[in-house]
Amino acid sequence: MYRTCLSLLLLAGASLPAQTTESLEFEGPDNAPIYVIEGNFSQTYSKDGLTLALDNWAVSMNPSTGALSGGGDFRANGTINSVSIDWDGSLNTALNVKLAGSVLRVNGKMSITGSGTIAGYDLDRLALTYTLSNMDVNVAAVQMAGYVSVKGSAKIFGRTIPLSLPRTYFAFDLPDEDSDGQWDSAGDWTASVDATVDGKGKLTGTGELSVLDDDGEAYDLIPQKVSGSVKNGTVAVAATGNSRSTSRIKVNLTYLQANDATVSGRSSVTAYGQSRKF
C-alpha cells in the first residue's frame, strides 16, 4: 500500500496563480519493492561434503547499478573431487543484482586466496574463483538459488594443481538477522518532493529518495532534481538523482488531484539496479 500527504493549492487551466508550492511525501507501494543487501555478515554454507564459512564479510550495494562488492575472511574444509581440503584466507566479491521480469537475480564472481592443506599436505598458495549464474532471490524463503561453478589452482611442492567444480545447482541461505549486516526483506522506500508550479502548470524543485531497511532506517538518502506538470487535474512528477553518479535513480509519479490516487501503470521507481512499475 502507499500513502500520500499532499499540500495542493493547484487549480487547472487559467485559474492557476503565478506560482504555487507543492510538497509531497510518498510511501512506495507493496507491488514495487526495492531490495538491498548491505553490511557485515557471517554465514556458513555446505554442499556435497564441502563447508564454506564466511566471516567479517563487509558488503556494500551501489544504489545506481545494484553492484555488490566487498571482502572478508573465509575458511573451507571438506572434499573437492574426492580430495580433502582445509583452507583459509581472504574473500572478495563482485556481483550484480538485476530484475529478470519480477525476479531479483544475482550474477558475478567471488574469489578466494589463501593457504592451508590439501590431502594432508601444506599448500604454498590457493586461488579459486566462484562464478554465480542466475541466482534467483526468494525473499519469502530468505534464500538465493541458482548455479555455481569453481575454477582455480593450488600450489604444492612448487607444482600447480588445477581445481574445479562443474556448474552445480546451489541454494544459499541469505544472511540471517543475527548477523551484523542486514538482508532487506521488506523492500520499503519513500520519496519526498518540494516544488513550485508556475502559471502554465510547469513543476520544478527538489526531492529525495530513501530506501529503508526492515527497521525503517535509510540505507541511502538520494537527493533528486524534480520536474513535471499539472494538466487537466493530473499531476506528473519526474525525480532524478541530482549528480552524475545517481542519475540512474528515478521516481516517476502520476496521480490525480481530485483524490491523490496514482494512475495505475503510470508510475515507477528505479534504484539499486531494479525498476518497478505500479
pLDDT digits (tens, 9 = 90+) for 213-242: 878 888 889 999 999 999 998 999 999 999
How many Cα neighbours within 13 Å face the side chain of 35?
A: 23
3-state helix, strand, coil in the chain (%, to 5): 0, 70, 30
Q: Which pLDDT value is given to residue 179? A: 56
Task: Please state the separation of Cα 80 from the chain's center in Å.
Answer: 32
Q: What is the pLDDT of residue 251?
A: 97
Rounded to 5 degrees, what are φ and ψ at 267?
Answer: -125, 160
* Closest listed residue to residue 153, CA positions, set 186, 124, 189: 124
With 0-12 / 13-18 / 19 or more C-beta atoms within 10 angstroms meaning exposed / middle / buried, residue 264 is exposed
Length of the chain: 278
Question: In 3-state terms, what secondary structure has residue 201?
Answer: coil
pLDDT at site 18: 65
**pLDDT < 50 regions, the chain:** 1-16, 177-178
- Can you give the pLDDT at residue 180? 58
CA–CA gap between residue 138 and residue 132 (Å, rounded):
16
Write down the pTM of the prediction: 0.81
Quote the CA–CA distance of 136 and 143 in Å, as a whole number. 8
CA atoms within 13 A on the CB side of 194: 3
- In which residue are the cell numbers 549528480 written? 243
